[in-house]
Amino acid sequence: MKFICDTASLSEACQSVQRAVSTKTSIPSIEGILIKALGSELVLTGYDLELGITTSVPARIEENGGIILNAKVLCEILRKLPSSSVSFESDERQLATIRSGEVEYSLIGISPEEYPELPTVSGGFPIVLDQEMLREMVRQTIFSVATNDNKVVHTGIKFEITKNEIKLIAVDGFRLAIRKETISYDSDDITFIVPSKTLSEVVKLFSDENKVISVGVGKRHIIFEVGRYTIVSRLLDGEFLNYKSAIPNLVSTTVKVNTRQLLESIERTSLIITDKIKSPLRCKFEDNVINISSTTSLGTASDKINAEITGSSLEIGFNNRFFIEALRVCDTDEVYLQLNGSVAPILIVPPEGDRFLFLILPVRLKANAE
């Protein structure tokens, strides 16, 4: 293999592909990036057996071929090369020589034949989505994904795609996030669950140059095509929470409040709550005022803001972080809080429509706490 390539382009591509490279494995080949020189371009691949990222970079190919090079070392070398161009050459012993300016490296590689084959998706459902829309939908749900493996299926985001509508759902046992949008889709209804890690990496590859993203869904895998990048990932299999039954049907108290004012008030009263000193946030809804307070071994904090409250007065406790994270992704100036007593979940919804819904389970307050 022999080629000459733009250093910056190759470095950027390797940095992106490296995010799919395994860092904890006993298989040396998947600790590396597979480089293939074909025709007039380089094809770079990173794959950890669950997530794979492939891209191509224009290059002057003098001899076709391939090699696997350690991802971490290769990326560090490319970041620090002094010249705008870099040349690679490898021989039958899998010894790669990298030259740029006066700098020269010799790296011991691995035969490309030892690299695992990436899964393919065929016969799936092609879906074209607006890139910015999907970015926002992921941002507004991924914070509610479970971070432990007690139920692996909940470490991903569920997609429900029906005629002209897409819905994303995330749950972690204590909260629920739902986000939906109208799309152009007129095929069979489909549902699938994508690992949150995959979606995080997909979103990082979005750019202003690409307005849409193409999605192919198979039985066990999904493929995203973003510009020059192709991301393939396994899908999660298992029984996802019946989230519709978790959403309360009854509402006894409705609160209309300014989103930023509520968020800032909760952030202020949460300053004495730490990871080591946990305590529920107390919210009292009464007489068009929300009284927010917290008490820990560090002291007390209280604040109040005006709101439009209809229905029963009540006091309820929450995990402050869950409340803050939900409010931060609300993209409306005002939100409605819907409650049904102090032990039922709270719903956060937009003033109009149903683009998003965030559900948070309450924390039981001590009866005599002040």
Rounded average pLDDT per 10-residue block, the chain, 370 residues: 97 96 90 96 96 97 97 97 96 96 96 95 81 97 91 96 96 96 92 97 87 92 94 96 94 98 97 85 97 94 98 96 97 97 96 96 73
**Residue 369: inside a domain, yes or no?**
no
Domain containing residue 286: CATH number: 3.10.150.10
Query: Considering the entire predicted model, what is its pTM?
Result: 0.93
Amino acid at 328: R
Same domain, 289 and 230: no
Same domain, 132 and 235: yes
Same domain, 232 and 292: no
Same domain, 136 and 236: yes
pLDDT at 111: 97
Instruction: Please tell me the distance from the alpha carbon of residue 329 to that of residue 139, in angstroms, as a whole number.
Output: 7
pLDDT at 123: 67
pLDDT at 125: 67
Give the largest Cα separation in the chain, rounded: 80
**Residue 119: inside a domain, yes or no?**
no
Residue pair 20/47 in contact by the 8 Å Cβ criterion: yes
Same domain, 251 and 239: no
**Residue 235: inside a domain, yes or no?**
yes
**Residue 265: inside a domain, yes or no?**
yes
pLDDT at 23: 86
CA dihedral (201, 195, 183, 327) positive or negative: negative
Of 213, 243, 273, at which residue does a domain stop? 243
**Residue 170: inside a domain, yes or no?**
yes
Residue pair 191/160 in contact by the 8 Å Cβ criterion: yes
pLDDT at 26: 86
Q: The tokens 């978790």 sit on which residue? A: 246
Same domain, 21 and 105: yes
Q: What is the pLDDT of residues 308-354, one digit of tens each?
A: 999 999 999 999 999 999 999 999 999 999 999 999 999 999 999 99
**Residue 367: inside a domain, yes or no?**
no
What is the span of the domain harbouring residue 168? 125-243
Q: The tokens 């008030």 sit on which residue? A: 265
Nearest to 44 by CA among 134, 141, 115, 135: 115
pLDDT at 124: 63
Instruction: Please tell me the distance from the alpha carbon of residue 202 to that of residue 186, in angstroms, as a whole number.
Output: 24
Beta pairing class for 281-286 and 314-318: antiparallel
Same domain, 7 and 101: yes
CA dihedral (315, 319, 322, 327) positive or negative: positive
Of 78, 94, 114, at which residue does a domain stop? 114
Residue pair 74/88 in contact by the 8 Å Cβ criterion: no
Same domain, 222 and 199: yes
Same domain, 187 and 99: no
Same domain, 206 and 256: no
pLDDT at 75: 97
pLDDT at 122: 78
**Residue 120: inside a domain, yes or no?**
no
**Residue 217: inside a domain, yes or no?**
yes
Same domain, 280 and 338: yes
Same domain, 63 and 135: no
- Domain count for the chain, please give it: 3
pLDDT at 369: 43
**Could you tell me which residues are beta bridge partners of residue 98?**
88, 105
Of 186, 208, 243, at which residue does a domain stop? 243
DSSP SS3 for 14: helix
Phi/psi at 276 (5° precision): -90, -25
pLDDT at 365: 86
Residue pair 97/89 in contact by the 8 Å Cβ criterion: yes
